[in-house]
Every structure is written in C-alpha cells, then in structure tokens.
Amino acid sequence: MNDTLKCYVAGSKPDNTSKSGIISFAVPEYGIIFRCGVEGTLTDLNIIAFLTFLRFAEHNKDIFKKRELHIFTDFPLLVYLMNDGSASVKGLGAVRKQAEKYARGFLFKVKWINRRDNRAAQPVNSIPILPAHSDLKIKSFIELDSQKKSDRTKNLSESQ
C-alpha cells in the first residue's frame, strides 16, 4: 500500500459578481467527491473547502491517519498560508490554527496543482465509481454538519 493519499480541494464562483459559489473536495482513491454551495469570496470558498475536507478526514480518522495526506489545491494563497505564511497573511492566522486542530493525529502537506489537474474542480463523472469503502462515515459526517448548523441557527435566534 502506498503511504500517501492524494486529496484535492477547490472553491469556485461562476463570476466575480456572484455572492455564492461551490466548495468541493475529492479523494479519488476512495471514489469520494463532495460539493456544496456556499456564500463568500473566492478566498473564503477555498479556505472553507480545505477546512471542510479536514473535518471530513478528522471524522474518519481511522482511515486517514494511516497515511500522509497530500492535499492539492489550485489556490496559491492556501498553499502559502499552510506552508509558511500564516503569520504574514492578515486575518488568516486563525485558519491555520483551525486546520491544525482538525488535523491532530495525522500528517498532511498542502501542495499547488494546476486547475485543470485539480480533481475537486473537475466534473463529477471524471472520477471513476469505486466500490464503497465500508469504513467511511459519510452519513454521520453530514448529520454532524447539519446538527452544527441547527445549533448555530438556534444560538443566533436566542441572542436576538
């Protein structure tokens, strides 16, 4: 078995005037692709895609901790932020801390890849269908995320 696992993250918007876009991550070896609509800037979308993938990996530690994750992105700021520039990117130091929190217990490297080679940015049908990996906790990850959104909404309502 190879000791590294290639993972891909991406954020995209249809144009610069749109308030929302798509975040996605892909783990082709397991046939995983995740996509979700999110509001924010292009920087926001790429960071949210990255952190969402790390949360997914954290939720499935029993699988992901066994291998070094090579997380590919076509967003240079994210590569810079996670490799050596968190202190110099104003307002984004907290992103690195959050990533390190999610990634406790496993190794990862963030690497740049050309957009055309980023599997998270490609059409869904470009990732072959593989047999389901029975150890992945996808349903409970989605339920966990829905519960957290519900809790945030409840907390906002109570504070108003």
Enter the pTM of the model: 0.77
Res 85: pLDDT: 61
DSSP 87: T
Contact 57, 64 (CB under 8 A): yes
Task: Give the chain's domain count.
Answer: 1
Q: Is the pLDDT of residue 60 over 60?
A: yes
DSSP 89: S
| Model confidence band, residue 51 (pLDDT cutoffs 50, 70, 90) | very high
* 141 within a domain of the structure (yes/no): no
* 69 within a domain of the structure (yes/no): yes
Q: Is the pLDDT of residue 1 over 60?
A: no
Q: How far is CA 76 from the centre of its chain?
A: 15
Contact partners, residue 110, CB within 8 Å, separation at least 6: 50, 71, 73, 78, 79, 82, 83
CA distance 160 to 157: 5
* 146 within a domain of the structure (yes/no): no
Q: What is the CATH number of the domain that holds 21?
A: 3.30.420.10
* 68 within a domain of the structure (yes/no): yes
**How big is the chain, counted in residues?**
160
CA distance 82 to 1: 27
**Residue numbers of the domain that contains 110:** 4-135
pLDDT digits (tens, 9 = 90+) for 106-160: 889 999 999 999 999 987 676 666 555 556 666 566 565 555 544 443 444 444 3
